[in-house]
Amino acid sequence: MEVKLRIVGCSPAWPNPGGAQSGYLVESHGARVLLDCGPGVLARLREWEDWPRVDAIAITHWHLDHWGDLIPWVWGAMFGPARELDTPELWVPPAGRQLLSEIESRLGRPKMFEEAFRVAEYEPGETFTSAGMEITAVRVLHYELEAYGFRVAANGSVLAYSGDSGPHEGLAELARDADLFLCEATLADGTEEREGSPRGHLSPREASGAFETSGAKRLLLTHRPTERGLDGGYEQVRDGQELDV
């Protein structure tokens, strides 16, 4: 059986019209891992089944468009349909448990994430196994924030997902010889970002440069505002799309 990728949502930091923010569902041998869980992702998943059956969720970084729907997911686990389901793993960046506990105390509900998920922190560059998939978190460049991309190996196929990143050597390492490189391309040409500060995003041309260095087989662009358009020669994902990796 192949590895399937469903684009749940592919909006950038502000949503595209009618769109969900970052959420990418990977399925292999009936096991499912959701890469990122931004606002709109849970509602979209619930259009397909009463409550999403996922074995694990993995978060690339703590900008809200990549994890915001974990909070309504918790309420569904405590008071809604997810009460009846197995508890998914939740893989977060290093020191993520501490961050979650600070959010819990602000929300007045200590341990809410630990009740809804089996929370674990991944280590930079170290492969962990989840739902039968081998996942490696590779450090990328996202302003001053600690951020990762995921390399997911399953059933002989490799998917690389950039998360959010500016130009960085980690991207080519992440996508080395991958079957599919799902790479962000938020910017028009890169000149939008402030000079003298760390970069945070890529233009299509920069994404394509990382892809060519990596030797990956196919490039798909994501996390792109609709108003920026995209000229010919690039493939861009859309919400709801299903692909073979």
Nearer to Zn ion, 65 or 89 (CB): 65
| ∠ Cα 219 235 208 (to 5°) | 45
User: Shortest Cβ distance from residue 92 to Zn ion (Å)?
Assistant: 16
By CB under 5 A, the residues from 75 to 114 that bind Zn ion are none
Nearer to Zn ion, 153 or 174 (CB): 174
10-18, 117-125, 189-197, 236-244 -> range binding Zn ion (CB under 5 A): 10-18
Nearer to Zn ion, 60 or 136 (CB): 60
Nearer to Zn ion, 13 or 243 (CB): 13
**Site size for Zn ion, by CB under 5 A?**
3
Across 91-115, b (16+ Cβ under 10 Å) vs e yields bbbeebbeebbeebeeeeeeebbbe
13-21, 46-54, 111-119, 204-212 -> range binding Zn ion (CB under 5 A): 13-21
CA distance 72 to 30: 25
Nearer to Zn ion, 82 or 164 (CB): 164
For residue 54, give the nearest of 44, 62, 63, 64 by alpha carbon.
Answer: 44
CB 175 within 8 A of CB 216: yes
User: Shortest Cβ distance from residue 245 to Zn ion (Å)?
Assistant: 21
User: Shortest Cβ distance from residue 106 to Zn ion (Å)?
Assistant: 22
Can you tell me whether residue 209 is helix, strand or coil? helix
CB 49 within 8 A of CB 20: no
CB 206 within 8 A of CB 184: no
Please identify which residue in 164, 173, 206, 239 interacts with Zn ion, judged by CB under 5 A. 164
CB 56 within 8 A of CB 131: yes
9-17, 46-54, 82-90, 130-138 -> range binding Zn ion (CB under 5 A): 9-17
Nearer to Zn ion, 89 or 164 (CB): 164
Tell whether residue 206 is a contact of Zn ion (CB under 5 A).
no
Nearer to Zn ion, 76 or 149 (CB): 149
Q: Hey, what are 194's tokens?
A: 């402030």
Please identify which residue in 36, 65, 104, 173 interacts with Zn ion, judged by CB under 5 A. 65
5-13, 83-91, 98-106, 175-183 -> range binding Zn ion (CB under 5 A): 5-13
CB 183 within 8 A of CB 224: no
CA distance 221 to 156: 23
Residues that bind Zn ion (CB under 5 A): 13, 65, 164
